[in-house]
């Protein structure tokens, strides 16, 4: 059997999940052939952490010339996704980009143009939130017309002080690189909304700001927690060596002087992204959505409410850190003139992102296809909303979203 030859672009924490799945579940059909990153020390740590020995490249063109891959997995800093998508498509190599697909409108246009030039080449965005069991339950209810025509949606995204603060310690805190949380994080949520409602956003308004993080939130700041003199009086101080969620040996064991470590100060003047957002979305099919995100909450979770002509769907998700990241998810349907909700039963799934990763990987690498996989066009639409949010924050105006393209 011929194996699909895969190369990795970006020795990132996120791509580790893809590697584990490929080695464990898809090794009979797929072969990992190389990794490319601008930081050779990081690639060495990446190989060692995963107990593999992939050839290391710092030049994409050289890697493709020598390996001749069938598929490129892209998980770099968000700003650079576009570059490798274009290079892959124009070389007629299939590619899968981690979300967000890109971070600005010029990149959206470039990607759509590249796909138009190469319509026969497979390309996708790895939006995994669609695959979560609760999200699938909601999609099924909406497709079955459980509450009739949807009139409005309330979507509240809550990031706790552990998860939320992490974005302000990493490169994500620079808007040029990530687009802000409205692109890097919210593209997950906007993609789900587009998928659930089977429509596109026509216009939006937005407000937001930076309250808990950034230079105005503290009388002091440092460079990195690991070298900061203020750790004893800083509630956000972390010891990356004790972080059970991130294997920092990828970044530190073979670290070159002045290279990147993701424990930067959350009060740095470098931070130019928002930590709270409120967005009003008007969809082309008439649905109005009120979306909020806060990156400094007491607990982690989502509250999502669909108000329909015949009833209401409530989806709630909670992650409790003090209970070893215990997840509690529920979906309920309320019917008019009936005060007792219908509890929608679904079995919890194991694995990354509440089991969503395993379902995504089956679509990407397995034989069974669910039809949920996000296309490049889907990825563009999710990013486009975040781009419009940035424009609304800048101008204070209502933004016609599709006209941005």
Q: Measured between alpha carbons, how far is 37 from 84 in angstroms, rounded to an integer?
A: 12
Q: 61-67: long-range contacts at Cβ-Cβ below 8 A with a sequence spacing of 24 or more? A: 61/87, 63/7, 63/34, 63/36, 64/7, 64/91, 64/93, 67/5, 67/7, 67/33, 67/34
Q: Measured between alpha carbons, how far is 61 from 83 in angstroms, rounded to an integer?
A: 12
Residues 6+ apart with CB under 8 A from 361: 18, 21, 25, 26
Helix (H) or strand (E) holding 43: helix 40-50
Helix (H) or strand (E) holding 17: helix 13-25
pLDDT of residue 282: 99
pLDDT of residue 61: 98
Q: What's the whole-number mean pLDDT along residues 390-397? A: 98
Any idea which architecture 129-213+271-404 has in CATH?
2-Layer Sandwich (3.30)
Ranges of each domain in the chain:
4-125, 129-213+271-404
For the whole model, what pTM was predicted? 0.95
Q: What's the whole-number mean pLDDT along residues 361-385? A: 95
3-state SS, one letter per residue, for 130-192 = HHCHHHHHHHHHHHCCCCCCEEEEEEEEEEECCHHHHCCCCHHHCHHHHCCHHHHCHHHHHHH
Per-residue confidence band for 324, with pLDDT thresholds at 50, 70 and 90: low
Which has the minimum average pLDDT: 94-103, 224-233, 245-254, 275-284? 245-254
Sign of CA dihedral 306, 307, 310, 312: positive
CATH 3.40.50.720 fits 4-125, yes or no: yes
Per-residue confidence band for 261, with pLDDT thresholds at 50, 70 and 90: confident
Per-residue confidence band for 13, with pLDDT thresholds at 50, 70 and 90: confident
Which has the minimum average pLDDT: 106-120, 191-205, 348-362? 348-362
pLDDT in tens, 99-158: 999 999 999 999 999 999 999 999 999 999 999 999 999 999 999 999 999 999 999 999
Q: Give yes or no for residue 245 having a pLDDT over 60.
A: no
Enter the DSSP assignment of 263: -
Q: Measured between alpha carbons, how far is 49 from 47 in angstroms, rounded to an integer?
A: 6
């Amino acid at each position: 059997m011929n194996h699909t030859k895969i190369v990795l672009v970006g020795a990132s924490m996120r791509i580790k999940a893809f590697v584990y799945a490929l080695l464990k579940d898809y090794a009979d059909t797929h072969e990992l052939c190389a990794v490319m990153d601008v930081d050779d020390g990081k690639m060495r740590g990446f190989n060692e952490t995963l107990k593999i020995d992939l050839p290391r490249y710092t030049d994409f063109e050289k890697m493709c010339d020598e390996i001749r891959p069938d598929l490129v997995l892209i998980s770099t800093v968000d700003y650079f996704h576009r570059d490798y998508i274009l290079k892959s498509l124009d070389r007629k190599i299939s590619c899968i980009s981690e979300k967000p697909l890109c971070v600005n409108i010029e990149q959206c246009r470039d990607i759509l143009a590249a796909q138009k030039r190469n319509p026969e080449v497979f390309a996708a965005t790895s939006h995994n939130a669609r695959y979560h069991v609760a999200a699938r339950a909601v999609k099924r209810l909406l497709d079955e017309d459980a509450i009739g025509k949807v009139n409005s949606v309330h979507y509240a995204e809550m990031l706790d002080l552990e998860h939320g603060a992490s974005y302000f310690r990493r490169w994500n805190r620079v808007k040029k690189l990530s687009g802000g949380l409205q692109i890097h994080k919210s593209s997950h949520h906007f993609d789900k909304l587009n998928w659930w409602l089977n429509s596109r956003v026509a216009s939006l308004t937005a407000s937001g700001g930076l309250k808990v993080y950034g230079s105005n939130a503290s009388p002091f700041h440092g460079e990195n927690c690991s070298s900061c003199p203020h750790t004893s009086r800083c509630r956000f101080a972390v010891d990356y060596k004790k972080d059970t969620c991130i294997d920092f040996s990828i970044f530190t064991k073979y670290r070159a002087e002045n290279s990147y470590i993701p424990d930067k100060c959350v009060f740095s003047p470098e931070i130019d992204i928002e930590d709270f957002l409120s967005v009003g979305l008007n969809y082309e099919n008439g649905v109005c959505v009120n979306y909020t995100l806060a990156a400094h909450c007491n607990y982690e979770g989502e509250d999502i409410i669909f108000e329909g002509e015949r009833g209401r769907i409530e989806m709630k998700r909670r992650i409790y850190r003090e209970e070893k990241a215990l997840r509690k998810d529920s979906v309920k349907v309320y019917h008019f003139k009936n005060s007792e909700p219908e509890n929608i039963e679904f079995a919890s799934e194991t694995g990354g992102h509440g089991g969503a990763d395993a379902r995504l990987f089956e679509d990407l690498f397995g034989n069974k296809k669910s039809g949920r996989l996000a296309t490049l066009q889907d990825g563009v639409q999710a990013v486009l909303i975040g781009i419009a949010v940035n424009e609304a924050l800048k101008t204070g105006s209502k933004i016609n979203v599709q006209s941005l393209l």
